[in-house]
Structure 1
Amino acid sequence: MQPLEAGEPHTIGAYRLLGRLGAGGMGRVYLGRSTGGRTVAVKVVHPHFALDEQFRARFRREVDAARRLGARWTAPVLDADPEAAVPWVATGYVAGPPLSDAVTRYGPLPEYAVRALGAGLGEALDAVHAHGLIHRDVKPSNVLLALDGPRLIDFGIARALGATVSLTSTGVSVGSPGYMAPEQIRGLDISGAADVFSLGAVLAYAATGTAPFPGDSSAVLLYKVVHEEPELGDLEGELRELVAGCLAKDPADRPAPAELARTLAPGGAAALVAPCLLYTSLS
């Protein structure tokens, strides 16, 4: 967390801001606390998006849908104000490192932890898609490793952003190179299968410590995703087959999130994710 800079707000809605957690193409994310003492993550969109009525309408619909989600493996939407001068949304704060930080610091996760991770995220995406949402930006930094299992953050709202900006807008990309599905890169209509592709890339990263489409520039990454096969390192057996299936170029060839979760954890993700399961590899 970084301290607030001059010019940044100290309160948003009913929340006192404690510091800045990060920033992205859509806006900034702050750590906040309610008057009752609950810790939350508050995302505030960039002011120029607030001037676009189409964005506001999509943002409103996505927030309404996300409020109803309440899935086991996501951070719940607690509060929002799409009508504010600068729209914002508050979600439950998840105490746990991003997958990207954990792998960078400790290396790849063992297979049982990758299975727990994939099963939890598969169940999360199944719930997200059932509510008419598409995440559009499943990547290691959007997966938090909590003590009782993974949490997928920043779901749904990415779809509202997609109505306003394009892949080539200056400083903004709807999705992350190397984790975006081929159809997403091509600017085609996408379905939940795009999230499954991204999930496959996340699982490959978690299991091997490297992204399945490596490269030193966005252009190289985008080209490899569209035209080349993924690099899966020493992944083997059923896990390799599952990840490769998620990374199929044709969306129709990818498994459904619920199917993936059942294969990874036949008894359900909760049965596989015991307390500290993902953290055992980080000790």
Structure 2
Amino acid sequence: MSTNAPIGRLTNYDPRRAGRYRLVGRLGRGGQGTVYLGEDEDGGFAAVKVLNVDVRLDARARERFLREIAAARQVASFCTAQILDVDVDGDPPYVASEFIEGRNLGDEVTRHGPLHGTRLERMAISTITALAAIHQAGVVHCDFKPGNVVCGPDGARVIDFGIARAAGDAGHSTVVGSPSYMSPERYANAGVGPPADVFAWAATVAYAASGEPPFGTDSMPAIMNRVLNEAPRLPGLGSALDELLRDCLRKDPGARPQAREALLRLVEGGGPVQDPRLAESVQLVTQVVPREEPRNHRDVAGIVLAVVMGAAGALAGYQVTHEVPPAAILGGAALAATYLVRTMLAGRESARVP
């Protein structure tokens, strides 16, 4: 196995096993626990988060944790790291997720500088698509940030969704997150919902494009004051994308677009889409979806665009491996998208027949 992800050595204080996984190295540490590289009996690898909180001590916390994780396991896997195993009764308690090879977005920007052009657009589209899928499953990520976006060979993937919220519930705290990417309502301890994720996504895109989050990186009181009272500092990304990020960074969570709306704005003239092959595929799909029924259009487009964004990830993989022709990738995505549209619309029409 080869990977660009930094893997640290285990210390004398680290566990050597978590359930069926042998822990072979450290991948990182966060507010909810330490993440290890785990190897199963078949030689497969997983990212194993050993939790800081013991959810076995509170029956209600345990039930909430399992409910959150069960919902997270239902999220479509096209732009995320799928949850594989959960054991809250084990010693230690852990959550194992798909291991994605590659550096996280924060490390990538630190090492190679800000993202521009098609690299930025692919990251933005892939991650907002992932958030749309996460929210569709009834899950809130709760800690969306550059460290939870992995730049893998098949495109950007979102990790750790649902775990921060579940661990926060188990620890009886609703303030969980990274200061530079936390929304105003998070600082006010006013509950966590999908709008907080949208806020964090916009802050992450701004960071990826400039190397600096829009509300700074200094002390937490200073960051909090800017989040609550000041306008974000955004790089010049063009009026349409700047406008979308500003809308997503509004102080009032009710004034922010939903993740699915932000995705549609990105691919329907509100964002860059500079790669001609990706733009061509997106144009084909948006032409297939009828315009006379805006509500149906958005419902269907959310699913169809997920297919196209999966193709965009595969296209990124092609640029590394050159194993699959781009025409086959985008052609397959277009056929699948067209089939989905026609099938769903036919179902809607039959449902209207008395």
TM-score scaled by structure 2? 0.73
Name the counterpart of 1:170: none
Structure 1 residue matching 2:250: 3-state secondary structure: coil
2:173 corresponds to which of 163, 166, 171: 166
1:92 corresponds to which of 94, 98, 102: 98
Within 5 A, what are the aligned runs for 1:61-210?
A: 61-163=67-169, 164-166=171-173, 174-210=176-212
1:223 corresponds to which of 206, 222, 225: 225
1:115-173: per-residue Cα shift (whole Å, max 9, x none)? Answer: 21121111111111122111111000110011111111110111112222436xxxxx5
Residue 50 (structure 1) shift: 4.4
Query: Is the CA contact 2:33–2:49 (under 8 Å) kept in the aligned structure 1?
Result: yes
Residue 49 (structure 1) shift: 5.0
Residue 52 (structure 1) shift: 3.5
AA at the equivalent of 2:219: S
Query: Is the CA contact 1:213–1:221 (under 8 Å) kept in the aligned structure 2?
Result: yes
Residue 229 (structure 1) shift: 0.6
Query: Is the CA contact 2:18–2:92 (under 8 Å) kept in the aligned structure 1?
Result: no
Distance in 1 between residues matched to 2:109 and 2:74, nearest whole Å: 32
Q: 1:113 to 1:263 in 2, by over 3 A?
A: farther
Distance in 2 between residues matched to 1:9 and 1:55, nearest whole Å: 24
Aligned: 1:211 with 2:217: no
Name the counterpart of 2:41: 35
1:178-237: per-residue Cα shift (whole Å, max 9, x none)? Answer: 101111110112320110000000000011111100141111111111111100133332
2:310 corresponds to which of 267, 270, 277: 270
Distance in 1 between residues matched to 2:61 and 2:117, nearest whole Å: 41
Q: 1:10 to 1:55 in 2, by over 3 A?
A: same
C-alpha RMSD over aligned residues: 1.9
268-277 or 251-260: bigger deviation: 268-277
Q: Which has the higher helix share?
A: 2
Q: 1:278 to 1:108 in 2, by over 3 A?
A: farther
Distance in 2 between residues matched to 1:278 and 1:181, nearest whole Å: 36
Name the counterpart of 2:262: 260
Structure 2 residue matching 1:80: 3-state secondary structure: strand
Distance in 2 between residues matched to 1:57 and 1:90, nearest whole Å: 18
Residue 69 (structure 1) shift: 1.6
Q: How many residues align?
A: 274
Higher RCO by CA contacts (8 Å cutoff, separation 6 or greater): 1
Query: Is the CA contact 1:115–1:265 (under 8 Å) kept in the aligned structure 2?
Result: no
Query: Is the CA contact 2:122–2:155 (under 8 Å) kept in the aligned structure 1?
Result: yes
Identity of aligned residues (%): 41
Residue 113 (structure 1) shift: 2.0
Distance in 2 between residues matched to 1:51 and 1:20, nearest whole Å: 27
Query: Is the CA contact 1:110–1:207 (under 8 Å) kept in the aligned structure 2?
Result: yes
Distance in 1 between residues matched to 2:239 and 2:66, nearest whole Å: 44
Distance in 1 between residues matched to 2:16 and 2:118, nearest whole Å: 42
2-11 or 202-211: bigger deviation: 2-11
Query: Is the CA contact 1:33–1:40 (under 8 Å) kept in the aligned structure 2?
Result: yes
Structure 2 residue matching 1:31: 3-state secondary structure: strand
Distance in 2 between residues matched to 1:233 and 1:278, nearest whole Å: 28
Query: Is the CA contact 2:128–2:262 (under 8 Å) kept in the aligned structure 1?
Result: yes
Residue 20 (structure 1) shift: 1.1
Name the counterpart of 1:23: 29
Structure 1 residue matching 2:50: 3-state secondary structure: strand
Residue 271 (structure 1) shift: 4.5
203-212 or 268-277: bigger deviation: 268-277
For structure 2, the 5+ residue unaligned runs are 1-6, 269-281, 283-304, 321-354
For structure 1, the 5+ residue unaligned runs are 168-172
Distance in 1 between residues matched to 2:318 and 2:172, nearest whole Å: 39
257-266 or 116-125: bigger deviation: 257-266
- Larger Rg, first or second structure (1 or 2): 2
